[in-house]
Structure 1
Amino acid sequence: MKTVGIIGGSGFIGSYTTKKFLEEGYTVKVSVTDIKKSEKYQHLFSLENSDNLNISGLKVEDLEVLKDFVSDCEIVIHGGTPFQLDVNDPQKELFDPTIKGTENFLEAIKVAPLIQKVVFIASVAAYNTNFPLPAYGKTATDTYDETDKKYISVESHPYAQAKFMANQTVENFITKNPNLSFEITSVSPVGVMGKSLSNREDSTSTGMQFLFKNKIAPNPFVQMLYDTNAEMAVVDVNDVAEAIFKAATISGLHGKNYLLSSESYPVSDMSLMLNHKEPKSKGNIIYKNQLARHDLGVNFRPVQETLNSYSKS
């Protein structure tokens, strides 16, 4: 029975990833930033095969604890970067834990004796920090794939910039270390949506669905999405977990970074679908998913199915 370590394994995406590996018979170690806050991970113990689950406290800024966490893992998933839109101190809240945390993680896995596969849960921001708006020089209907030039802007949200820089850190590490004994693969999901496995109120991903369903704008960023009726690319959280599992268990994917996406819809249509109404427009595939479909064998669910599964009133 192989051991997988999932950093951030109790979050929105992380919970589904934990669920998938438990179902597939793995021993699963999940790290949480604050072990005292059991409400953030208690839901994992109701999952199938949770007897094979271990929870431990870890902050990615603490290198020695990180080294200890990965020391007995054959597979490691890194999804432990903060996702938040309301930010008071971007350096402290986003850039430090995202970029420094990635640097520490890379240092830790480099000396881990058993690791065979590493998967980074990156972001569409690794390709376009303006998401869900188009990158500079593109229109709202222009498509993206993994061969497109990556775009970053200092005017983009700090979260997106931090994720872009973290991805560059991973790419540079792969280039500078051509003889690694393990493979590193990344996945870059667009807007991840679906039903949460926990009852937590602080998930940004499920929070965005609540806002869109009820047409609430708590900050300028969300208001901008309504004002522009932005085309939002969506991917189901189940499909993201499936892609992470496949990336972790298929050989020959070293250095690849897969875009994970289903269709794109205007925010106004997303509001309709979240209220179980028909969208007014037809969804378009803006962020192409052929590479993930081909290499990882993921069949992406229609967005309408994903948004219908979100049930919070």
Structure 2
Amino acid sequence: MKTVGIIGGSGFIGSHTTKKFLQEGFKVRVSATDISKSEKYDHLKNLPNAENLEILPLKVEIKSQLKEFTKGCDIVVHGGTPFQLDVQDPKTELFDPTIKGTENFLEVINETQGIEKVVFIASVASYNTNFPLLPNGKSPDDTIDESDQPFMSEESHPYAQAKYIANQTVEKFIEEHPNADFEITSVSPVAVMGKSLSQREDSTSSGLQFLFKNKIAPNPFVQMLFDTDTEFAIVDVKDVADGIYSSAIKKGLNGKNYLLSSESWKVSDITKMLNNEKPNGNGKIVYRNDKAKQELGIEFNKAEVPLREFGQ
């Protein structure tokens, strides 16, 4: 039985990823930033094959904990960077744990024996920090794929900037370590939607769906999305978990970063689907998923699937 370590394995995407690996017969090691707060990971203990689940304390800023967590793992999935829209101190809340955490992680896995594969859960921000808006130079009729030049703006949200820089850090490591003993593959999901496996109330993805469903704008950023009826590219959280799993078990994908996306819909239509109503418009493809389909073997659900599941 192979062991996978999933940093961030009790979060929104992480829980579905943990479930997928348990289903596929892996021993799964999940990180907890505070092991005493069992309410954040207790839901994982009810998953099928949970007897193969282990919870270990880990803060990515602490190298000794990273070494202990990754020791004995065949595969390591890194999805432990914070995702939040309301930020008081970007450096402390986002940049340090995201960028410094990535640097520490790369340093540790490079020294750890036995790791065969590393998967980074990156973000659409690694291709476009303006998301959900288009990158500069793109028109509403254009599409975006992995061959496009990544776009970064210092005026973008701090979360997006942090994820972009972290992805650049990963790419630099891959370039500087051509003979590493392990492969690194990244996946970059757009807005991840669907039903959470837990009752946690600290998920930004679930929170955003709640705001869209109930037409609530707690800050200027979300109000802007309503005011402009912004188009949002959506992907089902279960498809993201499948993409992470496929990236982990397939060989020959070193250095690749896959966009995971289904259709783009206007916020007003997202609200309708979350309320189980018929949308006024139609979805369209903005972020292309051809590469993920072909090389990872994913068949992406239509966007209405996770939206209706959340609304149930």
The alignment's TM-score, normalised by the length of structure 2, stands at: 0.99
Letter in 2 for 1:298: I
Q: Deviations over 1:121-152 (max 9, x none)?
A: 00000000000000011123321000000000
In structure 1, what is the Cα distance between the partners aligned to 2:193 and 2:65?
A: 31
Alignment partner, residue 311 of structure 1:
311
Whether contact under 8 Å (2:276, 2:311) holds in the other structure is no
Q: Deviations over 1:161-203 (max 9, x none)?
A: 0000000000000000010111000000000000000001110
Question: Cα distance, 1:267 vs. partner?
Answer: 0.4
Letter in 2 for 1:167: N
Q: Alpha carbon RMSD of aligned pairs, Å?
A: 0.7
Letter in 1 for 2:72: D
Give runs of aligned pairs for residues 198-237 of structure 1, distance below 5 A: 198-237=198-237
1:15 aligns with 2:38: no
In structure 1, what is the Cα distance between the partners aligned to 2:248 and 2:256?
A: 12
Letter in 2 for 1:157: H
In structure 2, what is the Cα distance between the partners aligned to 1:15 and 1:82?
A: 15
Count of aligned pairs = 312
Question: Cα distance, 1:279 vs. partner?
Answer: 1.0
In structure 1, what is the Cα distance between the partners aligned to 2:68 and 2:55?
A: 14
In structure 1, what is the Cα distance between the partners aligned to 2:106 and 2:145?
A: 26
Letter in 2 for 1:170: V
Q: Deviations over 1:191-233 (max 9, x none)?
A: 0000000001110000000000000001111111111111000
Letter in 2 for 1:292: A
Alignment partner, residue 131 of structure 2:
131
Whether contact under 8 Å (1:17, 1:244) holds in the other structure is yes
SS of 1:105's equivalent in the other structure is: helix
Letter in 1 for 2:287: Y
SS of 1:310's equivalent in the other structure is: helix
Alignment partner, residue 143 of structure 1:
143
Q: Deviations over 1:37-62 (max 9, x none)?
A: 11110000000000000001100000
In structure 2, what is the Cα distance between the partners aligned to 1:117 and 1:133?
A: 33
1:196 aligns with 2:200: no
Question: Cα distance, 1:68 vs. partner?
Answer: 1.4
Give runs of aligned pairs for residues 1-313 of structure 1, distance below 5 A: 1-311=1-311
SS of 2:120's equivalent in the other structure is: strand
In structure 2, what is the Cα distance between the partners aligned to 1:203 and 1:164?
A: 21
Letter in 2 for 1:50: A
Question: Cα distance, 1:284 vs. partner?
Answer: 0.4
In structure 2, what is the Cα distance between the partners aligned to 1:308 and 1:197?
A: 15
In structure 1, what is the Cα distance between the partners aligned to 2:228 and 2:149?
A: 24
Whether contact under 8 Å (1:140, 1:231) holds in the other structure is no
Letter in 1 for 2:269: D
In structure 2, what is the Cα distance between the partners aligned to 1:295 and 1:138?
A: 26
Letter in 2 for 1:181: D
Question: Cα distance, 1:311 vs. partner?
Answer: 3.0
In structure 2, what is the Cα distance between the partners aligned to 1:127 and 1:35?
A: 34
In structure 2, what is the Cα distance between the partners aligned to 1:67 and 1:141?
A: 47
- Structure 1 unmatched runs, 5+: none
SS of 2:311's equivalent in the other structure is: coil
Letter in 2 for 1:118: V
Question: Cα distance, 1:64 vs. partner?
Answer: 1.3
Q: Deviations over 1:32-90 (max 9, x none)?
A: 11111111100000000000000011000001110111011000000000000000000
In structure 1, what is the Cα distance between the partners aligned to 2:177 and 2:240?
A: 28
In structure 1, what is the Cα distance between the partners aligned to 2:141 and 2:38?
A: 44
- Structure 2 unmatched runs, 5+: none
In structure 2, what is the Cα distance between the partners aligned to 1:221 and 1:202?
A: 18
Letter in 2 for 1:159: Y
Question: Cα distance, 1:113 vs. partner?
Answer: 0.4
In structure 2, what is the Cα distance between the partners aligned to 1:33 and 1:221?
A: 28
In structure 2, what is the Cα distance between the partners aligned to 1:192 and 1:269?
A: 16
What fraction of aligned residue pairs are identical, expressed as a percent?
65
Question: Cα distance, 1:101 vs. partner?
Answer: 0.2
SS of 2:159's equivalent in the other structure is: helix
Whether contact under 8 Å (1:133, 1:140) holds in the other structure is no
Once superposed, which parts of structure 1, at least 4 consecutive aligned residues long, lie more than 3 Å away?
none
In structure 2, what is the Cα distance between the partners aligned to 1:180 and 1:133?
A: 37
Letter in 2 for 1:280: N
Whether contact under 8 Å (1:225, 1:267) holds in the other structure is yes
